[in-house]
Structure 1
Amino acid sequence: MMDFYSTIIFVVKFSDLDDIDLRLLDALQDDASPSNQSLAERFNISPPTCLRRLRRLREAGWIESQVVILSADRIGPLLTAVVEVSLDRQDASALDAFEQRVAPDDAVQQCYRVSPGPDFVLVVTVRDMPAYQALAQRLFTNDANVRNVKAFFSIKRAKFAPRVPLPSLA
């Protein structure tokens, strides 16, 4: 059993964020690798204050994760597809079941429920067409509730920016 005092949960509403919080979040979206010292200097705050702010933002869920984005060009040929999926049944349990089945798959980079049109749009990345065929078999063909799948294969990536827009950075 967890001790009441052992865990501090921060709830930070958007209205609780100040300009420095927003600027920290904005900077980290561009590059999450700077040290705490470097960020503190950049935003003219003390390192302990910077560390406290970042910890509060992380624990409140504003910072979901920090990742390294690899250069797809360096890895070699990859096949990226935007896939539209329509289901026969669209009740809440059927939508949830499909989402819970496809979201954990490593090839699925993004999964969106959409409306109107198809029920889901997925962004998938695989090594080649045989790998896409295996993915399609695993995620779509074996699911009796999948009615229609339409895949659009990327021939060139013109932009990739996983940035979330933040309100007014004065």
Structure 2
Amino acid sequence: MELSHAMSAITIAPRNPLPNSPPPHILDSTAIHSAIPTAGHIYVLWDRNTGKVLTMREGKLEMCQPDKLRRHRDNWYWECKEMAGWLSLRQPASGLYVGYELRPKGYRYDAVLIVGKSNEHDRFCYKLAVDGGYQLWWKRDDDLHVVVLDPTSGTNLHLRPSGPKDVVTWEFVQVDDEA
């Protein structure tokens, strides 16, 4: 734990500016970019490929351009929690956790906000992506499922057993000193 806490304070600047870099209001001196997801901190999660951020909009998870949400910043701040060695993302303003629900059609799981306290549907781990950033993998029974962006809507997130197609590469921008 001490090593991960020490590593979470390291700022890693990208070598070249990303085509969809974080919005200017996140690029202030208090934010830590390319932060390692660590329990006890608050982050803005943005997709390195689209420039969209993970947000709660009208009670649902959605990927949105950040300039549309400036007045409602609490809707796109995510507190990282730890439970039994797994990480969870909690939306501080609502107290809801990011998790998933099963859909009857096909082998698909939708990432959704779930009510109240943490449970097995909101636990995830991360893997370092080859091009930087992180992939999020949710625990489903004894398997891990990667978070992907729905190519049709461009805003909805799903979980899939594996595969590189449409996998979201997240940048964790730390926006606090200590949660």
Please confirm whether the aligned pair reaches a TM-score higher than 0.5, indicating the same fold.
no
> TM-score, structure 1 length as denominator?
0.22
Larger radius of gyration: 1
More helix by share: 1
More strand by share: 2
> TM-score, structure 2 length as denominator?
0.21
